[in-house]
Structure 1
């Protein structure tokens, strides 16, 4: 039959005490411990699923029995009996067919007289289960204590065999390890030798494979238990799955080949995957009856934990190599003199190697693109801004209007001044005709003043529209925002620069100012163009100190060697790596510490 029932004595007592009940066509028994959930302990014959939950919900410890007729059937009755015992509650649900109402009372009385014996059997089963769990706990503690001393899995398998052989007393116990998906026999009880190819080995590995597929402990009894002919047989929907039945029959056949009547297979997991399977075989069924699912599950968990403990205590080869290297490092730093000398020797060799390894100083600094040869477009006179079509970053072509001021007032004033000048010229002619020299001189002086004012107005009118004479880029100003507003004479409107007139402004740490050559080469990498490095050359270092991120820096200018393919805009930021000259690997990585040490020693001297 399949896995051992949880209440075997109860099932046996149920069949024995109710077998003589007249007309019994189905019985279902439920047990509950304390306030836990109801558990089906036995089922035979026809069962009415619809009556199950209402009956269990209506349970009371002293409910006794009840019976009602089944609708649509003649002389068919549904009965139940409820009773509470010492730690266990029992509910019996029965179906009686072909029982006359006159005989019903006697049959129910017979059930009531048998309930006490059924409850005693259930309590006996429960006591056996608790004892099995206690045994599993004791064996488990010994297995866990031994796991840390097993240097390899073969020793761990021998420990499992020894502990389980003493606790379960099987006639055969075997440990198989899974290599890939196939179990391979590793150890046998009694110190038996593992043959490479044998019939017993094949049967044991097949039983282990059966447990791996089931992914649960398998307790298998090969003694065929025929159903009680005095009780109805199970209905078709209660029959086991044909596939599971085939696997079960195969496992039973293999246990018979090994000379056993009962078998136990315990899969051992490492994480989510099975790593080993333990197979136990009993030649008789006297001791195997003490094995219960609770103890099997507990042993499975304990064995999985012991496998993890052994793996941590004795890791794999690579882990051992790492531990060995770490032990060497710890040994070098030990307190003994020879270890200290060994450490100093290794450190000296490392320092010499680094001092002979050629390298270069390549410090990095923050940088920014700056426009060169800037031009400022200012307001030529007080007035109103009429046009400003370009914004920051726009490119201006020659002949395009950059800014334009409102000139209608200038045109009007220019016309009035020209008219005034014409009138004065006419008066001069009249004064000369009258030979009035004093008036002629006065009018000529007035004419010269008007001419100066006329020239000024003409100059302002010429400057009202500022056109580009060469290609330019807008790099400053805000004229496009002030169109229609009033501007004052000399007020800056836009700032222009040549498109190819960009340089790099670098902020060099004070610590590197004296160590960089005047024409040192470098590489600029802009944030906007991370995939296009630009070759630059140091032009000069200014005397303008700035405090940046807590470090005193000096601004320096670097020229761009060749115009890059990318678009450069004023204000772009990036990082410059400057070639600081030849050095060694030791000097490159200890420069800062060496300079700090020299300054500290000089301060103390």
Structure 2
């Protein structure tokens, strides 16, 4: 009976095909049709294929599943795609949609035949795209199944390819999911087809070799022999080669997908055999299957056997590679062995044990705070009198020497007062001399009193003049006091002008966090690291702990004053750094998470109702 399972327009059940199109449904007579076994193998390889059929004039086809299980819109779209592929002679893909969900249709013209193979996949277009290449390869196999056999392909009285990898063999291999069973079936077929005297099948992944099958009971890759080393080198060379087949000889006729193996020549020489060959196939779990065959004598039809096997082996390689996951492509197979995830588990376990032991070991418990250098005896230089600032010779941060002039006050008024008092003293002395000449004792005594009072006033003016020049009493660093902007302004007596720190004798002021104040005590030792001297550690000892008021700079908190056990010539007051105070010992894990736990406790207390 004839039906149209993919009509271009809705038709009633049992309607005939359009002109030039023939569709043959499955019945008892079609049970042996090669298309059935082809589609059964396709479904075993990839269950996502739910339907396939042939389209074209005079097509003889079978349909394992009936398309009417889907809507007519799917049928119309699939028929249109098939006609476009047949008309243009190109592979086509399209996304189809109906009430049952999304599907993808694939249409591939069959080489040498006026037909198109159409298949439906219950996947979206993006997910189905990875199956496009294996489907096209399988369609090439289908073309060879449906084309009539060509006579006259015998060689030396025997038909070439009597042990070829047929489509049935190919589909049977692809349907095997267990790796050991797959290796056994592949090894057995190669044994039947090629009859090597010695053969070994192994897997190679990331530099590791595992022998699966061998034609002999003894180890085919003995480590202590040169033969085993050359065979192992040939197996690894096969995984790096571009070709699927490597031969130690030059065949009389070209073998598809083959190349010359230099390492096989070494195997042939070392083992004393006549021929050597390797076959490489992708492995689903990553890496490669590699088969090595050796022939003691040259078989009469070895080239013909390889020529017959090569197309099927090439198709098998393509389909195996298409079935591998995106993370197992061959670019990862040549990575070093230590990157194997199975090896990572051991190293990760060892690292975890070492980490746990390290966290349980005791470690010093430190209190860390910002630190700054202070002079032990800092001195303030204040204005000696009321007056105007005349000149400033230094700025904050500069180093000064003993006797160096720092600033000057205006002395013009004092100079005038000094000149006037000198004139008054001269007048008083003249009056005293005149009284002495007149023997006026009373006037002489009055003159002496005036001269003495004016002399005292003059001494005060001279002192004020001398104090108008502010000098450093010792070598020091000006910690604070930038008076350059105050030049010409009035100063009050006792107003601070400069803060000087002597160059010898420093102590450290450490800001103690409030969460650590209970752990800090006098006489605890620690170390200081200054930003200006990052490669030096200076031992310190806590001498005093005091409360810092808000007005002293920064937030209210605690300050620990510590002495420095070993000084440095580069020390300067005001240097900043970090100090660590040793407060005891605890497990290293607790040292690492202590601050986080304290913070979490406070936050939890704030959040809970």
Q: Name the CA distance, whole Å, in 1 between partners of 2:524 and 2:228.
A: 79
1:578 is aligned to 2:581? yes
Q: TM-score, normalised by structure 1?
A: 0.51
Aligned to 2:290: 277
Q: CA deviation at 1:365?
A: 3.5
CA-to-partner distance for each residue in 1:298-324, whole Å, 9 max, x for gaps?
Answer: 434546879789999x96366268679
Q: CA deviation at 1:488?
A: 1.3
Pick closer, same or farther for the CA change 1:529–1:187 going to 2, 3 Å. same
Q: CA deviation at 1:567?
A: 2.0
Q: Name the CA distance, whole Å, in 1 between partners of 2:554 and 2:496.
A: 35
Q: Name the CA distance, whole Å, in 2 between partners of 1:192 and 1:135.
A: 37
Aligned to 2:88: 87
1:370 to 364, 370, 374: 374
Aligned to 1:390: 394
Q: Indicate if the aligned counterparts of 1:140 and 1:299 stay in contact, CA closer than 8 A.
A: no
Aligned to 1:288: 309
1:457 to 461, 473, 497: 461
Aligned to 2:280: 266
Aligned to 2:423: 419
- Does the residue aligned with 2:458 lie in a helix, a strand or coil? helix
- Does the residue aligned with 1:466 lie in a helix, a strand or coil? strand
Q: Name the CA distance, whole Å, in 2 between partners of 1:307 and 1:584.
A: 43
Query: Superposition RMSD on alpha carbons, in Å?
Result: 6.5
Aligned to 1:217: 244
Q: Name the CA distance, whole Å, in 1 between partners of 2:385 and 2:322.
A: 95
1:299 is aligned to 2:326? no
Q: CA deviation at 1:496?
A: 0.9
Pick closer, same or farther for the CA change 1:528–1:267 going to 2, 3 Å. farther
Q: CA deviation at 1:534?
A: 1.9
CA-to-partner distance for each residue in 1:3-59, whole Å, 9 max, x for gaps?
Answer: xxxxxxxxxxxxxxxxxxxxxxxxxxxxxxxxxxxxxxxxxxxxxxxxxxxxxxxxx
Pick closer, same or farther for the CA change 1:559–1:124 going to 2, 3 Å. same
- For structure 1, the residue ranges without an aligned partner over 5 or more in a row are 1-83, 90-118, 227-243, 329-346, 601-605
Q: CA deviation at 1:478?
A: 0.9
Which of the pair has the greater relative contact order for Cα pairs under 8 Å at 6+ separation? Answer: 1
Alignment of 1:522-601 (within 5 A): 522-544=526-548, 553-562=557-566, 564-580=567-583
Q: Name the CA distance, whole Å, in 1 between partners of 2:218 and 2:282.
A: 20
Q: Indicate if the aligned counterparts of 2:221 and 2:231 stay in contact, CA closer than 8 A.
A: no
Aligned to 2:74: none
- Does the residue aligned with 2:510 lie in a helix, a strand or coil? strand
Aligned to 1:45: none
CA-to-partner distance for each residue in 1:456-485, whole Å, 9 max, x for gaps?
Answer: 321221112233333222111113x34853
Aligned to 2:154: none
Q: CA deviation at 1:176?
A: 3.6
Q: Indicate if the aligned counterparts of 1:132 and 1:290 stay in contact, CA closer than 8 A.
A: no
- Does the residue aligned with 2:568 lie in a helix, a strand or coil? coil
CA-to-partner distance for each residue in 1:264-283, whole Å, 9 max, x for gaps?
Answer: 83354899x97553569896
Alignment of 1:62-461 (within 5 A): 86-88=87-89, 132-133=137-138, 155=180, 159-162=182-185, 170-171=193-194, 175-178=201-204, 186-187=212-213, 196=220, 208=235, 211-212=238-239, 214-218=241-245, 222=251, 224=253, 265-266=279-280, 268=282, 276-278=289-291, 284=305, 288=309, 290-291=311-312, 296-300=317-321, 302=323, 316=342, 319=345, 362-383=366-387, 385-408=389-412, 410-427=414-431, 451=455, 453-461=457-465
Q: Name the CA distance, whole Å, in 1 between partners of 2:327 and 2:485.
A: 82
CA-to-partner distance for each residue in 1:368-395, whole Å, 9 max, x for gaps?
Answer: 2222222222233455545544333333
Pick closer, same or farther for the CA change 1:573–1:267 going to 2, 3 Å. farther
- Does the residue aligned with 2:535 lie in a helix, a strand or coil? coil
| Corresponding residue pairs, total | 427
Q: Name the CA distance, whole Å, in 2 between partners of 1:518 and 1:411.
A: 55
- For structure 2, the residue ranges without an aligned partner over 5 or more in a row are 1-84, 91-108, 118-132, 143-166, 294-301, 605-609
Q: TM-score, normalised by structure 2?
A: 0.50
CA-to-partner distance for each residue in 1:529-560, whole Å, 9 max, x for gaps?
Answer: 23322222222222446699999732232222
